[in-house]
Structure 1
Amino acid sequence: MTEPFDPQAFAAAAAARLTGPGGRCEMVVEDVLGVPLPVLRHRETSLGAVLAASTVHGARDYLVTEDRRMSFTEHAAAVGALATALRDRYGVEKGDRVGILAANTAEWVLTFWAAQCLGAIAVGYNAWWAPREIAYGVAHTRPAVLVVDAKRAALLAELDIRVPVLTMEHDVPALIDEFACDTLPLAEVDEDDPAVVLYTSGTSGRPKGAVHSHRNLIAVIGYHVFNDALAAEFTGAAELPSGRSYLLTSPLFHIASLHNLVVPRLVTGDAAVLYRGSFDADQVLRLIARERVTNWGAMPTMATRLLERDLSSYDLSSLTSFSLNSAPSSAALQQQLRERLPIARTALVTSYGLTECSTAATMASPAELAAFPDTVGRPVLGVSVEIRDSAGNAVPDGTEGEICVRSSYVMLGYWDDEAATAAAVTADRWLRTGDIGVRTDGRLRLSGRRSDLILRGGENVYPVEIEQCLEEHPAVRECAVIGVPDADLGQQVAALVVVDDRAPVTEAELRAFTAERLAYYKVPARWRLTTTDLPRNATGKVVRTAIEV
């Protein structure tokens, strides 16, 4: 009698072969910042070396936009020229920050890699920030040069920015032409030197800059190569896949797009298709058909909007991989995708991760997600996950607690914020996520979010930042911001504002006041103005569960 195929057992056996001695993705334990951690034995030790090796892919497409195609060879040449220009004309050297403030463009990617050549630190500022937020970010990381697109250049005109500002539309192409060269100016760096800073919303009301090292991003590359190797084990293929087309619909200042899509493609030899502008389901569907996109990781909000269209009108036959990322997804949405999107029937996956850990900490396979729609899967390659109580002790399976993660993917810390770093990363390199979850038979399920966090369309929004902004208005006595359910975005931002009778103010005025100071997605969509004090507990803390907007 034929034994039934057990995909989980097969995957475990294949992973053991791949990561064992002599395996294609052999893992060993090495000292990482004073802690023994599993790492790939055979790996590059700098992103500059990754870039130099990428020319082996030659004339294949690396970056594809609506009107441009750039091969791996062309990309490396342009990066070399831009890096030379940044070094020779603007004095950028190892350890300097190179700020990037722009929508998704090829020049964003070129600037990132140029910084890596010089051992500089690329800083991906949030392109949706309002001028005040931009001013904070630039003052916080103090870039030696700031590379922006035209829209952001107009915002900078309102600020006193005292660093060289280069535009992507004019200055960057001109510099690439002027400094064209045949070599990459590669600086020597240590694996644990910082490579990039990406901002994440902070509970203190200010964004925090998560610092990722060369080791972090190279480990992420290794994770993606391992996934390809594991997929090859299932199909019996002798070679790893290449020549695929990955659709990028999230901003490049997110780990989903930069760390986990654009960067690994230099090794796998695949194309990154950069979608630009606000999400439009029809445009995305047409782009998938035109570029024969094979892989797409979408936010649940995007998937919901996709299902509002007649999918049969588009040729989606090229898709071989589809994932839901950046926010929780419901069982109903997952099932609707399986019914309407053919590839989702066999390949739909989801994951759990956060900016601070560079990539996914856990991933749910198609079979497990179908059987357990509320799971976010099992720890990925090289990741240890523990559920801990309030005292920091590991709890038994089935017990709820804080999710803690340790791996070579975990960030170095927060830029210029020792206190926040110490609170998030323990001395033995465990990342305290602040998320609440439970593990059952090895599968992780999220049962709560970081304190008060609002997840709006895949964007993290912390109420305190908005509350502090509103409290600057002279008519606002106090306020509380909460998340409310939204069928499209998952959650919307709502504000309860306490005012005095003698200081009348309108909802429209408060909305405009907030929009001038914060990114659009942080501006409350729902408001309630009252003269009644906020509900508070015995210690004076606002009782958010008692708030209705």
Structure 2
Amino acid sequence: MTTPADAQPRLTEIATRLTGPGGRFEIAVEDVLGTPIPVMRHRARTVGELVAASRAWGARDYLVTADRRISYARHLDSVAALSTALRENFGVAEGDRVAILAANCPEWVIAFWATQCLGAISVGLNSWWVPREIEYGLQHCRPSVLIVDAKRAALLTDIDTSDITVLTVETDLPRLIAANSGAELPHADIEEDDPSVILYTSGTSGRPKGALHSHRNLLAVVDYHRFSDAFATELAGHTYADTDPSPLRYLLTSPLFHIASLHNLVVPRLATGSAVVMYQGAFEANTALSLIERERVTNWGAVPTMASRLLEHGDIEKYDVSSLNGFALASAPSSIALKDRLRERFPFARDALVDSYGLTECSTAIAVATPADLARDPGSLGRPILTVNLEIRDPFGESVPAGVEGEVCVRSPFVMLGYWEDEAATAAAITPDRWLRTGDFGVLENGALRLTGRRSDLILRGGENIYPTEIEQCLDEHPAVRECAVIGVAHPDLGQEVGAVVVRKPDATVTDRDLREYAAERLSYFKVPTHWRITTTDLPRNATGKVIRRGLTI
């Protein structure tokens, strides 16, 4: 049996050949926004170029759902038609925002690519938002066009959209695509560091922040995935060629307004000719397993909550999932025990399970732990991926030695431009020489990353990042509430749930049911606390007046 030590020379030889001088993925140091950063020398410059290149994949599957199958050729025609309609009918031009507020569906993807071909900015709005949050998002990004499905259109009733063209997924998009079928694919003359996408991530200020990604960011993700495919191909003893379509078939189960599904699945797979099998609706193990069996899915990146529900499924053996040979956990921390249970139960997890660490601001993974990494160190998150520089720094911004805890900081071509129209938040997150302060804490040991703590106040519920401040500000508006603090409560399936310690006013009467209903009208369901403690005792605070959360319990 080949040991990891025996295999290392072969791995090094392949990586050197692919990324060294003259290699397909040759790495060179170039100026990126005033800072020298390692990038791939041979790269595209605009995301829209990928659409035109996808013509080569013809009749192959690109998007597959439970009841639809869309080829690359049909997708290209639909993108050209919608892009033309957005330009000619609604005046969408370079730099304009086109917001998408819809559940996962092929039209979401078509709208994204149509926007990119015009040099406009695609905005992925959280489809779980309630009207109050939707209104904030629209006021923040100021789109010229909003593409919305019927369920979310019903939430716009009391929101002023008079300055926005609203197009429906079910009616307007099919009509516009049909009317412009056969149109020539538009092309925009833009630069690689121009903005491409806005995705929203929660912020400690209590309001979602718009992470602004450039064309460089997305194309760097594409090339990273291409490199990974090439490395696997060469390792298997075959010769990699860009002109050969990938036979891999990927199951998409996370929302398209996440980097996991958009940046790291839908976008790179257009470039490689792979199929994207799109799960729709609330996650249910039977449905996912049926799709894997029917579509011969080869790769799946799941959030830990989904993996836990697979473990709870009592009859997985009746499904043929033998095609699945790539399985990754992403979007939220997963325990060593969970990984062990997955390997014990599922053959596809025994030799293929990988873990990773990343965040929206970085477009893709920062570090990836391979099966070999996890075998050596079950708590590891692996080594930084290609072109990523990672340092652990002290509170003064100085790099600390291996084994010493500090803040995880990263610099790479994947790091966002900044937060949309928020100079203060951008300056707080990104240094002048383009290092991103993640706000997470960890150590580097033998070159591999291990997290020691998430952002101090962050609650991670089923893969969703929740910051307490937004919920606290909402509850503080209730007339019976004097002050409150929101904390995470451990949950075996979701990782954490939201708990609230509420200090009521002395002369007021309020129940947890009252507060739950109040919050549900103003916040997405996953942010509404499920655990409550109502008291008249003041919250503990430090010398500067900040609430001390560490000792709070529900």
Normalising to structure 1: TM-score of the pair? 0.98
**Cα 1:34/1:300, change in 2 over 3 Å:** same
State the distance in 1 between where 2:63 and 2:461 align: 29
Which one of 344, 350, 375 corresponds to residue 370 of structure 1? Answer: 375
Q: Compare 389-398 and 20-29 and name the one that shifted more.
A: 20-29
Say whether the 8 Å CA contact 1:383–1:405 is kept in structure 2: yes
Deviations 1:176-222 (A, max 9, x none): 01122341011111000100000000100000000001000000000
The correspondence of residues 472-487 of structure 1 with structure 2, limited to 5 A, is 472-487=477-492
The correspondence of residues 154-165 of structure 1 with structure 2, limited to 5 A, is 154-162=154-162, 163-165=164-166
TM-superposed CA distance for 1:66, in Å, is 1.4
Q: Does the residue aligned with 1:327 lie in a helix, a strand or coil?
A: coil
The correspondence of residues 84-95 of structure 1 with structure 2, limited to 5 A, is 84-95=84-95
Say whether the 8 Å CA contact 2:248–2:299 is kept in structure 1: yes
Q: Does the residue aligned with 1:138 lie in a helix, a strand or coil?
A: helix
Tell me which residue corresponds to 1:30. 30
Tell me which residue corresponds to 2:201. 200
Tell me which residue corresponds to 2:269. 265
**Cα 1:154/1:339, change in 2 over 3 Å:** same
Tell me which residue corresponds to 1:251. 255
Q: Does the residue aligned with 2:90 lie in a helix, a strand or coil?
A: coil
Say whether the 8 Å CA contact 1:484–1:492 is kept in structure 2: yes
| Count, aligned residues | 549
Root mean square deviation of aligned Cα: 1.3
Tell me which residue corresponds to 2:125. 125
Say whether the 8 Å CA contact 2:234–2:240 is kept in structure 1: no
Tell me which residue corresponds to 1:153. 153
TM-superposed CA distance for 1:288, in Å, is 0.7
TM-superposed CA distance for 1:20, in Å, is 0.1
State the distance in 1 between where 2:480 and 2:98 align: 40
Which one of 379, 398, 406 corresponds to residue 401 of structure 1? Answer: 406
TM-superposed CA distance for 1:8, in Å, is 4.3
State the distance in 2 between where 1:435 and 1:2 align: 36
State the distance in 2 between where 1:7 and 1:222 align: 25
Tell me which residue corresponds to 2:353. 348
Say whether the 8 Å CA contact 2:4–2:372 is kept in structure 1: no
**Cα 1:23/1:480, change in 2 over 3 Å:** same
Say whether the 8 Å CA contact 1:311–1:341 is kept in structure 2: no
TM-superposed CA distance for 1:9, in Å, is 4.4
State the distance in 1 between where 2:201 and 2:3 align: 48
State the distance in 2 between where 1:158 and 1:2 align: 64
Q: Does the residue aligned with 2:550 lie in a helix, a strand or coil?
A: helix
Tell me which residue corresponds to 2:110. 110
Tell me which residue corresponds to 2:81. 81
State the distance in 2 between where 1:216 and 1:267 align: 15
Taking every aligned residue pair, what percent have the same amino acid on both sides?
A: 65
AA aligned opposite 1:403 = V
TM-superposed CA distance for 1:311, in Å, is 2.1
State the distance in 1 between where 2:5 and 2:424 align: 50
AA aligned opposite 1:508 = R
Tell me which residue corresponds to 2:63. 63
Deviations 1:27-54 (A, max 9, x none): 1111111111111111111111111101
Say whether the 8 Å CA contact 1:311–1:340 is kept in structure 2: no
Tell me which residue corresponds to 1:232. 233
State the distance in 2 between where 1:58 and 1:333 align: 41
Q: Does the residue aligned with 2:354 lie in a helix, a strand or coil?
A: strand
State the distance in 2 between where 1:500 and 1:190 align: 56
Which one of 516, 530, 533 corresponds to residue 538 of structure 2? Answer: 533
TM-superposed CA distance for 1:239, in Å, is 3.2
Which one of 280, 286, 290 corresponds to residue 294 of structure 2? Answer: 290
Say whether the 8 Å CA contact 1:299–1:325 is kept in structure 2: yes
State the distance in 2 between where 1:477 and 1:502 align: 11
Tell me which residue corresponds to 2:138. 138
The correspondence of residues 299-318 of structure 1 with structure 2, limited to 5 A, is 299-309=303-313, 310-318=315-323
**Cα 1:3/1:194, change in 2 over 3 Å:** closer
Say whether the 8 Å CA contact 1:362–1:380 is kept in structure 2: yes
Tell me which residue corresponds to 1:459. 464
Say whether the 8 Å CA contact 2:84–2:183 is kept in structure 1: no
Deviations 1:266-314 (A, max 9, x none): 1110011111111111111111111111000000111011011132121
TM-superposed CA distance for 1:470, in Å, is 0.3
AA aligned opposite 1:441 = N
**Cα 1:145/1:36, change in 2 over 3 Å:** same
State the distance in 1 between where 2:352 and 2:2 align: 25
Deviations 1:237-257 (A, max 9, x none): 123671221000000000000
Say whether the 8 Å CA contact 1:330–1:373 is kept in structure 2: no
Say whether the 8 Å CA contact 1:496–1:527 is kept in structure 2: yes
TM-superposed CA distance for 1:2, in Å, is 9.4
State the distance in 2 between where 1:6 and 1:226 align: 23
State the distance in 2 between where 1:277 and 1:124 align: 18
Tell me which residue corresponds to 1:421. 426
AA aligned opposite 2:65 = T
Deviations 1:37-83 (A, max 9, x none): 11111111111111110110000000111111111111111000001
Q: Does the residue aligned with 1:332 lie in a helix, a strand or coil?
A: helix
Tell me which residue corresponds to 2:46. 46
Which one of 371, 380, 388 corresponds to residue 385 of structure 2? Answer: 380
State the distance in 2 between where 1:208 and 1:397 align: 32
Gaps of 5+ in 1: none
Gaps of 5+ in 2: none
Q: Does the residue aligned with 2:347 lie in a helix, a strand or coil?
A: coil
